[in-house]
A and B are shown apart, each in its own frame.
Chain A
Amino acid sequence: MPLLRRRKVTDSSKSTNSESTIDKQDDKKNQSKRFRRESYSSEKWSCWDSCCWFIGFICSMWWFLLFLYNTMPASIPQYVTEAITGHLPDPPGVKLRKEGLTVNHPVVFVPGIVTGGLELWEGHQCADGLFRKRLWGGSFGELYKRPLCWAEHMSLDNETGLDPPGIRVRPVSGLVAADYFAAGYFVWAVLIANLAQIGYEEKTMYMAAYDWRLSFQNTEVRDQTLSRIKSNIELMVATNGGKKVVVIPHSMGVLYFLHFMKWVEAPAPMGGGGGSDWCAKHIKAVMNIGAPFLGVPKSVSGLFSIEARDIAIARAFAPGFLDKDVFGLQTFQHLMRMTRTWDSTMSMIPKGGDTIWGGLDWSPEGGSFKCSAKKLKKNSTHNTGQNANSNLDDMKSVNYGRIISFGKDVAEAHSSKIERVDFRQDTVKGDKLANSSNCDIWIEYHEMDNDSIKAVADYKVYTAGSILDLLHFVAPKLMARGGAHFSYGIADNLDDPKYEHFKYWSNPLETKLPNAPDMEIYSMYGVGIPTERAYVYKLITAVDCYIPFQIDTSSEGGSEDSCLKGGVFSADGDETVPVLSAGFMCAKGWRGKTRFNPSGIRTYIREYNHAPPANLLEGRGTQSGAHVDIMGNFALIEDIIRVAAGATSEDLGGDRVYSDIFKWSDRINLQL
């Protein structure tokens, strides 16, 4: 552009010269000054101009690319992928349609925690204009635009666990509720698309969306969600010629559906009044994906200090960032305050106590799981020599039973060497720790004093059983709410009338499966990814307005293969749910006729070994075993479609196991 202009100047001056005689003198001047002029014009090409050019260029390119993207035929990414990696296998829907499978049983999806969208129906002034817009899911735009307002609207009342006054946030309904979590991040979309290939459509697919922040029974109290699910299942069975439904719960949806099955059988005021044969009449199979039947250790760290491993690592990288007052708010405390009002988070606290999760000196997985297993597989045979060493390392064994330890040494020491001071005796919490003026944010840590924080740390090690006491100690109000809706024990006598209360319904160790001998229960989950199982904690010195406990990200296992990384001991699983939690009930607790499964419903375990996507073009991979990405796993989708199209588990090939779940289950001494 500047070049063009410069050249023109001379042209035009020449042409004007030829036209007029008077200008000849000037022309001479021009000639003589051309050099100077040019230098001047380049000076004029100032920073300002460049900026303008740059902005113009960027904007134009952006539009241009957007335009190209929109006009691009939808199949281009596939062509590109095929050109690079060779011919792709048919997606399972297409493959199975060629085999002649067609729509048969209606299917019901039960989404998990976090994945379902929530939208605003009534809000405060600050949420003006967001009516029926998604607060959760979608682009999360409001989180950035008005974070405080967002947190306020996403919170529930911390006394009742229901709506705060003047705010109504409701689950999105329909398949759109959880097909994509955010734009481009699928949850159910791939499964839906594949089912549609063999003829499914909305009349045969139902998304049982519910408000995942509420405790399960409260979804019925507030939204009548359980009644809706019942009515919709009945409708689908009726309009599809009496064919029973296949239910596909994912993640926390598994627990929700356990709750539903008890609810629907229970008599009317507390339950749905469907009668004891409702499940037998309406459900063909329950295909649980990534089921946290017995809870997940992640939820402990979430409730105790709201850090999952990801956050803990982020904090280690950029120490100041998350703790600083971004937008004038203490991010963590706000998050904690918000998530603590969600009763549903307490549904995933590990259940079954030490019997299931192991005590001070033993755990079902103890010693046998090698965190290096993944590496071994990848690097093939040539470094098996090295791995002999690492095996030795592992022989040292991890005390998975100690879900929270204060300090790495404590986590590894023998139980007899640990001196524990019982925090439970120290009932007086004393004065408030923080002066209330500084911390306008409500979290219960502010009601604890230094002594009780010390007492917590002095107990040193917590197993699954004592963790409940710990949570009761540090967050009594929260746990009081949670205790009214969930229970984490093991029933001694399932016929005890107290187990008719709804708080036991989502705990598989305190309920019986319905009387439906024809039903099938599958547990499908990924394996081969290190999954959080136990934590090393530390006290933070500056406790003013901060959460006084933190995962000790500095504690690392000795070798590369160690299971301890960034303060977290990991075990086999799907990155969120350990194999033990997902598999135990189907591997042992419900296998055959047990007291938890009196009618002998057949159970099957289908494991999917994780293989990361081969290249970037594959996106999140078609062989993933990760907790959410497994929803795009072709093998899993194929299994689901086959069952939906009428296959029985025998047709699928029964169990399919890669992990040591059966071995581990045997070590658990549970009366069946």
Chain B
Amino acid sequence: MSLLRRRKPPINESDKTSEASDSKPQKEREEEEEEEEEDGNGKDKNKKKIPSKIKKHEEKRPKWSCLDTCCWFIGCICVSWWLLLFLYNAMPASFPQYVTEAITGPLPDPPGVKLLKEGLKAKHPVVFVPGIVTGGLELWEGRKCAEGLFRKRLWGGTFGEVYKRPLCWVEHMSLDNETGLDPCGIRVRPVSGLVAADYFAPGYFVWAILIASLAHIGYEEKTMYMAAYDWRLSFQNTEVRDQTLSQIKSNIELMVATNGGKKAVVIPHSMGVLYFLHFMKWVEAPAPMGGGGGADWCSKHIKAVVNIGGPFLGVPKAIAGLFSAEAKDIAVARAIAPGFLDNDIFQLQTLQHVMRMSRSWDSTMSMIPRGGDTIWGGLDWSPEEGYSCSKKGERKNDTQIADQTGAASAVSQTRSANYGRIISFGKDVAEAPSSDVGRIDFRGAVKGHSAANTTCQDVWTEYHDMGFGGIRAVAEYKTYTAESIIDLLHFVAPKMMARGTAHFSFGIADNLDDPKYKHYKYWSNPLETTLPNAPEMEIFSLYGVGLPTERAYIYKLSPSAECYIPFQIDTSADDEDTCLKDGVYSVDGDETVPVLSAGFMCAKGWRGKTRFNPSGIQTYIREYSHSPPANLLEGRGTLSGAHVDIMGNFALIEDVIRVAAGASGEELGGDQVYSNIFNWSEKINLQL
């Protein structure tokens, strides 16, 4: 509009005489008037032209009032919104693909299509076991404030309610912090069926691509089962409250029976891996505590367990989450906008509320690192010792700087991170040799008076029960390894850990025949259970590598402890040589699970006949090296190795489909390894 207008003045000026005649439209006249005015003031027309344009605009503006502009603006937005919506809906579904192909050239066939051409067909029924967080939860009974949300998703979907009524949402998502079950008058239940976890939020796939690929070779709902469970509960409580384990058992039996006795291929993801370990022990155990399926249930019903991104030995991230409710992402956000998260938004202290909610979820404790110092390393050693973060760069920048990095990594190897110290207070502590770290044992410390005054007691976190003495004692122990971390958590959150230890165990069994290991709390720990007696079964561990993954943290005391969580990740700590960034030491992994946790059991703990694997179940490791999506059109990428995005990795999907269509681990090509997992596993001195 303004361009058009601007172009006109020169013509007008040229025949100014005719301007007097009335035939000209009003707008032009206005412009002419202005132009004249400027001409009167100015000396050189041509030079003046550019500034005059600016002036014109300034003078126009008062006419075109703010209200008008607003109206126009709103109108435009709304119209274009509808138009885009309409276009989007009218667009043929294959349009994005055309665009992508036009830009990047023809895409490879998606794995389902490719394998269909190879002649693969649906064979073994498959069972999906979703992980933590990815499964939808819906409301079945709620308080007054949640009216109208009956059978609507509280978790997953659009998360609309989080914004609309955050306090109400938190209240409904929390569990009872004594029993770990429903609070009085609230029933939130897992969504069932494939929709439970195909998409986490609109457009954010979890299982959808795998489902679609399997459907290509003939799978449908009678041969695919989503073992959705309430991921907030401890594993045994899903059976107590919802009989989920019984449902899974019954459905696997049904699928095997209706598919001509073909055994099921189970595909757990993330925490689902632990859940399914628990299931396999549960189904064999006798009736009151277990499912009473008998010792040969697994060998009769399961062909293979294809674990994706399995945190077999826990994840360090869980500690940061439990200790101070921060993952790396939150810590970084806090560093960028210090006031934001700590301020009282909506009258609530966001972090504390989140912490209070997530602490009522027993399942978070299932992922505390297991195996203590034997697995995760002590003060002065760790299995990953010598891992250099610059490796990624080396690979990318190719050979020309190989000499440089070679030299650099040689140096950095001498100065490697002490990954064994999962929590250190202060960067200097994290780097000092163990003899220099002066530690004062916190275990006996008196917690003293309540640190916080009662005004903030509406938000329940156990930190308020701790006195300054206790907080000090924690900080003065300086550094914590995997084993002492459990003591630390017991110290700072005794109630929560009391609930947790009733359902989970984090040790290593000395004698697996000890009758105490028949208790369900050991079932999800691979270091305290034996695999089922199913020599024909196969266990795969599929995970991404090549992404920096949280492994150890540097903490600091928060400046003001009142009403705040007294510990914080020290985001100011950085050190490129030792993989330290924003207070977090990282190591190879899939962004959530370190390689060690995902690979160790299949690489060593269960390899061959060991005491954890008495029947000699075959284990395979399949690693997928991460490469980021080439362009935006690829979305989350078909070569990703990230914890959730790997579910869209074509290579992984192809492996899964081949197994489902009947291939064995050998036919896939056995192990596929990019990381140093075998090397690292060797360093772990575990009696097998």
Contacts and interface: CB of A to CB of B under 8 A. Distances in A.
Given A12-B59, A56-B76, A129-B92, A75 B148 contact: yes
B37 A37 contact: no
B75 A57 contact: yes
Interface stretch (B241-249, B594-602, B657-665): B241-249
B75 A203 contact: no
B193 interface: yes
Nearest to B246: A239
Interface stretch (A3-11, A455-463, A496-504): A3-11
Given A29-B20, A40-B25, A132 B211 contact: yes
Given A8-B62, A131-B212, A227-B254, A59 B78 contact: yes
A82 interface: no
Contacts of A170: 220-221
Nearest to A36: B22
A201 interface: yes
Interface string B258-295: 10000000000000000000000000000000000000
A128 B93 contact: yes
A660 interface: no
Contacts of A60: 74-75, 78
Contacts of A44: 25-26
Contacts of B397: none
Interface in A352-370: none
B258 A224 contact: yes
A73 interface: yes
A63 to B, nearest CB: 5
A227 B81 CA distance: 49
A132 B257 CA distance: 25
B36 A22 contact: yes
B25 A16 contact: no
Interface string B45-77: 000000000000001001111011001101110
B40 A20 contact: yes
Contacts of A4: 65, 67-68
A62 B82 contact: yes
Interface string B124-142: 0000000000000000110
Given A44-B25, A235-B250, A9 B150 contact: no
B222 interface: yes
A75 B147 contact: yes
Contacts of B178: none
A122 interface: yes
B615 interface: no
B79 A20 contact: no
B37 A239 contact: no
B215 interface: yes
Interface string A19-32: 11111001001100
B193 A1 contact: no
Given A8-B65, A40-B26, A74-B147, A56 B33 contact: no
A618 to B, nearest CB: 18
Given A59-B81, A60-B74, A9 B26 contact: yes
Nearest to A131: B212
Interface string A217-242: 00000011001100110110011000
Nearest to B242: A203
Contacts of B242: 203
Contacts of B141: 196-197, 199
B92 A128 contact: yes
A23 B92 contact: no
B454 interface: no
A670 interface: no
Contacts of A234: 250
A227 B216 CA distance: 25
Interface in A191-208: 192-193, 196-197, 199, 201-203
Interface of B: 20, 22, 25-26, 29-30, 33-34, 36-37, 40-41, 59, 62-65, 67-68, 71-72, 74-76, 78-79, 81-82, 92-94, 140-141, 147-151, 164, 187, 189, 192-195, 198, 211-212, 215-216, 218, 220-222, 242-243, 246-247, 250-251, 253-254, 257-258
24 contacts: A8-B63, A23-B33, A23-B40, A33-B22, A56-B74, A56-B75, A56-B76, A56-B78, A59-B81, A62-B82, A121-B215, A121-B220, A121-B221, A131-B212, A131-B215, A132-B212, A174-B193, A193-B151, A196-B150, A202-B189, A224-B258, A227-B257, A227-B258, A231-B251
Given A12-B30, A12-B63, A20-B37, 10 more contacts: A12-B59, A75-B147, A128-B92, A130-B93, A132-B198, A173-B221, A174-B192, A202-B192, A224-B258, A228-B254
**When A and B form their complex, which 8 residue pairs have the shortest distance between CB atoms, in order from nearest?**
A129-B93, A74-B148, A56-B75, A59-B78, A22-B40, A239-B243, A224-B258, A8-B63
